[in-house]
Amino acid sequence: DADVTQTPRNRITKTGKRIMLECSQTKGHDRMYWYRQDPGLGLRLIYYSFDVKDINKGEISDGYSVSRQAQAKFSLSLESAIPNQTALYFCATSDRSDLGYEQYFGPGTRLTVT
């Protein structure tokens, strides 16, 4: 969905490196989310944000940090990447007016940590 974009789409990095994944949206939504997808585990919530000033941890936030630079931008950082952070990462948005019932996902970033 072009309304939610993620960069980069693919990234290979080495253990110990700092890496940032970026998400931008043109949907005008104020809720944004970061998930990781692993085979056999589904998608798990890393962080979510209600607005620029409100950021909350999800179920697997250890080893990750986020920054909400603007309503439309939400970045995920791995301060010191490790191999078990190899996964597919998705950003999503939802609209307060819908009570957030539908989440719109970006195309994903495939991250490999060697």
Partner 1 sequence: QQQVKQSPQSLIVQKGGISIINCAYENTAFDYFPWYQQFPGKGPALLIAIRPDVSEKKEGRFTISFNKSAKQFSLHIMDSQPGDSATYFCAASMGIQGAQKLVFGQGTRLTINP
How far is residue 108's CA from residue 51's CA, in Å, rounded to a whole number? Answer: 22
**Shortest separation between residue 50's beta carbon and partner 1, angstroms:** 6
Contact between 23 and partner 1 (CB under 8 A)? no
Contact between 3 and partner 1 (CB under 8 A)? no
Q: Contact with partner 1 (CB under 8 A): which of 11, 27, 44, 73?
A: 44
| Cross-strand partners of 56 | 48
Give residues in contact with partner 1 (CB under 8 A): 1, 4, 31, 33, 40-45, 48, 50, 58, 90, 92, 94, 96, 99-108
